[in-house]
Structure 1
Amino acid sequence: MGIRRGRELASAVSGLTDREFRVLVWYWFATEESQGAVMMTGADVAKELGMSPDTLTRTVKVLKAARLLVEAGGLGRTTFYRCTPYLAFIGSGFAHREAVKDWNPPETTVRQPRDHRRKTTKGGEA
């Protein structure tokens, strides 16, 4: 992924919350092999990130829908994830080209950014 698209993901326009971006960056740097999954349970990842497992599950669901995280196997009921090869890849340029052939590029706009302003004005008018 180029610098411009990386900046788009970090900007408010992407729709990613700070938490979602933090989880994405954590998986980005935890991906140690070219196509290898991060071999940690969701509970362990959540503990390292300082959030509840339920919060991590909701966050991963958003990142999966945007094709920023990819399922990369599992063991029992545990699913392992890794970053899309468009975002993080360790290996040669030829291997990288081969890795992205089977994947659609991730969305840089996940959803419309949220408006956190109050909806009512003084006097109770909407």
Structure 2
Amino acid sequence: MTSSARRGRVLVDEDGVLVPTTPYAFSGRHASVDKRRVRAICASKQFSPAEKFLVLWFIGATPEGGLPVNKTGKDIADEVGMTADAVNRMLRKLAKHRILNKTGAIGNISMYSISPYIAYHGSGHDQSRAVKNWNPPEIPGFTDVPLHQAWEVQG
């Protein structure tokens, strides 16, 4: 087991040995995603394809640190090719399931971000602190039992 410490842009292990690193091949900033929760959302028959699409859009649009996406339902609708009424209805439903969190408001217009349980743009330490501020999302058919425990039960 090696613990690592950053020295500038060089990563070394506890013995001072250089650990090879390489940048991600993403086109820009990226987020950590709970693949099991995203798959459960995609598999759920309680969410429409358009609602599932909005989840994906929010994973990509939520700023670092879980800040709100500063767009109205109409702004989002214009960007993704839906009606503002449909987007606003889906935002409320996804927020009811805590897949989206209301993280701000401008007047009576709610602003949302993706739940930090689903995706987070920031460090693991910051994400573990962020989830303390929110209840986990309600995803029909999803259980938070770790996979190894689920396999043992099936066993």
Same fold (TM over 0.5): yes
Q: Percent identity?
A: 35
Shift of 1:14: 4.7
Gaps of 5+ in 1: 111-126
1:50-65 to structure 2, matched below 5 A, reads 50-65=81-96
Task: Tell me if 1:7 matches 2:31.
Answer: no
Bigger share in strand: 2
User: Could you list the runs of 5+ residues in structure 2 that have no partner in the other structure?
Assistant: 1-32, 142-155
Q: In the alignment, is the contact (CA less than 8 A) between 1:8 and 1:14 conserved in 2?
A: no
TM-score scaled to structure 1, two decimals?
0.79
Alpha carbons 1:60, 1:69 under 8 Å: kept = yes
Confirm whether residue 89 of structure 1 aligns to residue 120 of structure 2: yes
Greater C-alpha radius of gyration: 2
| TM-score (normalised: structure 2) | 0.65
| Larger relative contact order, structure 1 or 2 (CA cutoff 8 Å, min sep 6) | 1
Aligned residue among 89, 102, 108 for 1:71: 102
The 4+ residue runs of structure 1 with deviation greater than 6 A are: none
Contact kept, 8 Å, 2:117 with 2:131, in 1: the verdict is yes
- 1:27 and 1:58 map into 2 onto residues whose CA distance is 15
Matched, 1:104 2:135: yes
